[in-house]
Chain A
Amino acid sequence: MDQVLGNIDLLFQFPIVNLKIILDGIMIGALFALAAYGLALVWGVMNVKNLAQGDFVIAGGYVSWWLVQHGFPPLLGVPVAFVVMWGIGWVVYKLVITRVIERDLFTSLLATFGLAIMMAQIMNLMFGSDTQSVDLGYPTLHFFDGFIDLPIAKLIGVGMAMSLAGGVIIFMKSSRMGQAIRATAQDARAARVLGIDTEKVYAFTFSLNSAICGAAGAIIVMVWVIQPFYGISYSIRAFVIVTAAGLGNLPGVIAAGLGIGALEQYGSHIFGIGYQQAVAVMLLLLVLLYRLIQQRRNRQVLK
């Protein structure tokens, strides 16, 4: 308890720390938001809750890491991971997901959970269980007596995440495929009646999700570290964010992603870093509680 109070005290003693916490939070939150956006897409369009979301992220990270090990420039990893993970996503869709779309919630959860375990283990066998990262070799900028540090690599990573998110938004808004995806999300049967090949839309959506995750992972490996079994922590955050923001609410997903990033950083400053993930899960509970109360207010009786 003393430590908690002491930590809160530090926030007031050194107000600049708040800025640092928020900046750190926003930077990690941007990547959570990417993974969450992919999840929202798949969830909304196909009603599949992909528990392997985080493992796609980590797989993308390993694609990029592998490239760097073989002498390619690190920044190339992001587009390559996007493309490779697109392909892997497509294969996974054809092998597994297409069989569970029409089934109930439990089947799809079970299938993607199995997928998550398999992916983690395959990565473990291929790349070993050590943590890996890619060092871009860029310097770090320091402000305010060194209290605020902005590694240029992180800035590049966040910039790439933002442009990827922007690209996806424009794509969804203005391309034919984007329209088809949105139409399928609204009403799959109606879309089919109107001549949209929903099977193709599903395959495309899942591959797109996988590719977004892959690119996020390629950014993460440049800024933080990856390990074959880290997927779950990204999956959890993605679920928290999507639950908080709701499906089909892209600005909401981004805001929730950044918010959760920042709140987690505050949580880990105040309660200790061991409680960082607990803060995320607590937030999920609060959001669910709030949603429940909100729904109760609107509850109507069916006659």
Chain B
Amino acid sequence: MITTSGTESLENGTRMTESTTANVVTSIVPAKLTLDEVRARLDGKRGKKYWQSIDDLVDAPGFIEMVKEEFPRQASEMTDGFSRRGFMKVMGASLALAGVTGCTKQPDEEIYPYIKQPEDLVLGKPNFFATAHPFPTGAVPILVKSQEYRPVKIDGNPEHPMSKGKTDLFTQATLLDLYDPDRSKHVIDRTRAQNVNSSFEDFQTSFLEQVQKLPAGGQGLVFLTETIISPTFAAQWKAAQAKYPGARLVQWEPINRDSSRIASKAAFGEYTDAQYKLENADVIVSLDADFLASNAFPGFLPLSAAYAERHAYEAGKTMNRLYVVESMPTVTGAKAEHRLGLKPSDIERFATALANGGSFSGDEFARKYFAALLADLKKSGAKAVVIPGEQASPAIHAAAFALNAQLGAVGSTVVYTRPVAEIPTEQMADFRNLVGAMKSGQVKALVILGGNPIYSSPLDLGFGDGLGAVPYTVHMGLHPDETGARTTWHINQAHFLESWGDARSYDGSVTILQPMIDPLYGGVTHYDVLQTLLENTGVSTMEIVQANSKTYITGDPAAGWRKALHDGWVEGSAFTAAGKTPGKASLPSFPASSGGYELAFRGDTGTYDGRFANNGWLQEMPRQITHMSWDNAALMSMNTMADLKVNEDQLIELEVNGQKVNFPPLMVPGHPDGVITVTFGQGRWFGRQAQFVGSNAYKLQSSASPYLSTGLKVNKTGEKHDLCVTSVHSMDQRGKMAQSDLAHKATSGNESLPGHEAMERAIIRTATLAEMQKEPEYAHESTLLKETPKHDDSFFPNAWNYTDKDKSTNVMQNAWGMTIDLNSCVGCNACVVSCYAENNISVIGREQVKVGRNMQWLRIDTYFEGDLHAPKAHFQPMMCQHCENAGCEQVCPVGATVHTPEGINTMVYNRCVGTRYCSNNCPYKVRRFNFLLYADYDTESLKFMRNPEVSVRSRGVMEKCTYCIQRIEYAKIEADKEGRAVRDGEIITACQEACPTSAITFGNINDPAAKVNKLKKEERSYQVLADLNYRPRTSYIAGVTNPNPELETAETA
């Protein structure tokens, strides 16, 4: 895929080989510029700041091409050890600096004080504002931390009844989207001969002219939007429809809820959403539903929180039991007590058989599994729930409706409500019709509000051709992306943190979106575009939203509006259960297998459908289960890999219906045989982070069966590809193992060296409920390896025990500590992204990650246990353990890492010279080193994003988790001001704040009443690598599972 040669052109640099791509690219690159012309353009722009001018130019025709010729392949420059450009740059800089060493003058910067300081602004003190992250599955209510009115951190709105202050990884990462330097900065007008940077006012004039030309009623005018969850936009559309009855609205997203829509329409007669009440469920059955991963699954936040709460062990409480029948291994499957890996088509058979109470024909384990699950469901009745996956077929949804009805779960563990989407539709069907109409010339004007169909639509529809046949096309988006480059108008959209709006959450409650900052590039919203159509442009977006809010705010509108803005949601706007019971219906199922391999499509756990592909945090984040970063792959089982006779370092060609795309194969433990999974969201050809990464799976997708294709052919290419996987431990052996005979034997867990070692070293400690009741001390079985030596066993018995008292107040000092509940942790990575934002962690790029230099302070270690074909997985968030006896501190020759009296292991960045000895002596390997200059000091927009309370680390400096010391100090200062001790729960670390399942607890271990102290005293609390006598301050709470005794014996037998 990504070739390393520095002179590849844009098209050849990616894995995309089809000529369509080349056409796209060449068609957006008009006449060439020369350097002289660039200078001439710059000369004319004296009025603006330099960096803005350059940005202006980037949009100018030919600029990109000029840069490409002048500086070939600058995109992956960091990756090349010795690029000419980088060399000249640093050489030039060092020459320039040669004369001024020793007396460096800081560059002149102008600082303007407030003439009139805003009333609520204290410089250095953050403000918090409530708004919501609109996402197609439902908005996530958030509280945005704002420093001098710059949003610097997104966290959940703690008062919201649905999310309770939790967020998912996408919501966390949208902060970087706001400051993305590749964002669209202008309205672009391509109606004239030359591309011109235009204004929204010009667009409005042009658009209205165009509408006037249309036949009466706006025949031929089509709006293509993403899923609408905004009541105001829906109301606006209603008004627009009244004015232009001929205009049409098509909602379409590549990852949509069509299966659920089709099934609910058939079952209820109208579109219906299911809301699951997992707090009431003893038995949860997931049919390919990955509801513990991210907001990609509707209701992720309440579902995961309720799951974790019921999964916590407490004497006298019934623990829930999770069954997952799935294809691609997910974190949900990993958390399951019993996971069954089946092909998507088999899952459908399984679901139908379950609903019909019949039997399931499969291998021995699958049959046993089916019988045990059926028995367990019958036993649990209304305390059980069946959750179908959004990418499962409508038939599976129908089976789930039927099952939940049979169990009597409706009203107990599941309620049916009206959909979160304001105007629910079957998106793929609508979209197919639209493309047909476009091709046949019925569409005269197409307005694309958000979305990127040129990139993300199934290739068989030919949306690109359709777009060419529409005379007047408009694209509004955050980026001048693949679609935005091909429309006659491109409008720069305002980010949701820059704009007014409203959106519904999973529970139906409405949150009013308020801007945190003036639009950085003066963008507008989809409300503004519709307002243009309504010829009502004098009204601001806020007024539109406020006017419409009367429909859901009860009582005094003005007071209600203020309260809604303050609280972050509108009270009483949540849906109530509809009290409907589903009927039975026969529904479309997956296409019948025609032999060969099946190809399943999933959203990426990092880039989703590709909208986050330019987000460095999400690109770099090791994906759940696979630990892949900056890549996507053909995910398959080891048997499949052995059958195909391929290795993980090769590139294979997947061929479906004549479409061919290259992917590297990657073995995923637990993946079913006979099916290959690919993820969307990579292979884009726009964006400094997104382009050159991975392959575009949309090219293989068929519109008829979007999430499963049959008749897949796999061809070898003979090319090599170096996958970027952060847990490289098994990479060196795994591919070979697949090729050896081992693959076809029953492989025991001992074959997996890391998994075996993790068990041997007691890094992961877990027991079943029965085992635990038999031996409550299972996390501390008496082997020496597992326990911290007593203070007296040490050569240095008088270690400081952090119980000094302040002489004046006689109050014991603080001693910070953390616990992480492995029973609750679902491995969703929200904490990892939150840590990125809070601590200004650098994004380092694919090549650096590949050699193992990833900078995440916090990582989710995943250990597989048992059979390589059907393993169990355990997650363990791992960050600096703040050892009391820290090895890193003793070996640092300059004292750059030292202990605070409160027991925090701190890094003094400006003292660090970078010997890296501390990392060598750290058994947890949680220290991260700036091997090169990773921090981006040049990109202006990213400077606004940084947390001003945390240093930006330069080259040659070690860094690591600080327990969010800036938050600790903030709380201590507040407490000091009020003359009191820091209260328990007052300090919330960034990871803790994000964690949807509240697995992380932080506090003062010297405070006997602190929650962290209670957790540390629990029988199940243990320290990782305790026997080294490093005395870590972070401890883990061993997992407990609640397996079905029948299946337990079946598995071990």
Mutual binders A and B: no
B residues with a Cβ closer than 8 A to A are none
Chain A residues with CB under 8 Å of chain B are: none
